């Protein structure tokens, strides 16, 4: 009769051990879900950056100009050039942020954003762009050099703590 509480103690020990193992597996699973979510969001940002590069390359290759004018239709004596309003990539019209050339006419630079009509962006009062592109051109005795930098983001929500940025750079 000395072993009356042994079964209860043994059962409690086994249940505690199984609970500890289950919690450890749950913790590992939650961490893996978080990591896969971050990888997925990073991939969205990566693809958006690639879209920006492809858009700038497509427009640049199909609309060359001399002196180098990026996304522009005319220039005045001050060296400021007016942005072209009908440029679009994949059906999305570009929002040109800034555009300038220097007085020597050997440098041109522009920045533009691509904003898509995604359901997520429509519900935000002040959405950020999903793609931001910077294009610079210089002309020297060797010809025209073009530098395109594209930054892609996974979300247009400025308050999202998991907003991810990925970038590409092309120089030719």
The length of the chain, given as a count of residues: 172
Do the Cβ atoms of 56 and 137 come closer than 8 Å? no
pLDDT digits (tens, 9 = 90+) for 109-167: 777 777 666 677 777 777 777 888 888 877 777 777 888 999 999 888 878 888 899 99
pLDDT digits (tens, 9 = 90+) for 88-99: 676 666 666 555
pLDDT score, position 50? 92
SS3 of residue 12 by DSSP = helix
SS3 of residue 54 by DSSP = helix
pLDDT score, position 67? 47
Q: Cβ atoms within 10 A of the Cβ of 26, count?
A: 10
Q: What is the pTM of this model?
A: 0.68
Select the more confidently predicted residue: 161 or 17: 17
Assess whether pLDDT exceeds 70 at residue 171.
yes
Strand order in the sheet with 95-101: 95-101, 107-114, 131-140, 143-153, 165-171
3-state helix, strand, coil in the chain (%, to 5): 35, 30, 35
Assess whether pLDDT exceeds 80 at residue 68.
no
Q: Tell me the sheet residues that pair with 92.
A: 89
């Amino acid at each position: 009769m000395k072993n009356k509480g042994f079964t209860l103690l043994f059962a409690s020990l086994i249940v505690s051990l199984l609970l500890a193992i289950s919690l450890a597996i749950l913790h590992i699973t939650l961490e893996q879900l978080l990591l896969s979510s971050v990888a997925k969001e990073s991939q969205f940002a990566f693809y958006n950056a690639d879209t920006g590069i492809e858009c700038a390359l497509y427009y640049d290759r199909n609309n060359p100009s001399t002196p180098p004018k990026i996304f522009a239709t005319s220039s005045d004596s001050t060296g400021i050039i007016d942005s072209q309003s009908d440029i679009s990539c994949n059906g999305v019209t570009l929002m040109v942020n800034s555009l300038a050339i220097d007085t020597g006419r050997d440098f041109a630079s522009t920045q533009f954003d691509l904003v898509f009509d995604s359901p997520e962006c429509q519900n935000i009062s002040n959405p950020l762009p999903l793609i931001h592109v910077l294009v610079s051109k210089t002309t020297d005795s060797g010809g025209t050099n073009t530098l395109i930098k594209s930054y892609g983001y996974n979300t247009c929500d400025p308050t999202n703590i998991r907003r991810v940025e990925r970038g590409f750079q092309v120089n030719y």
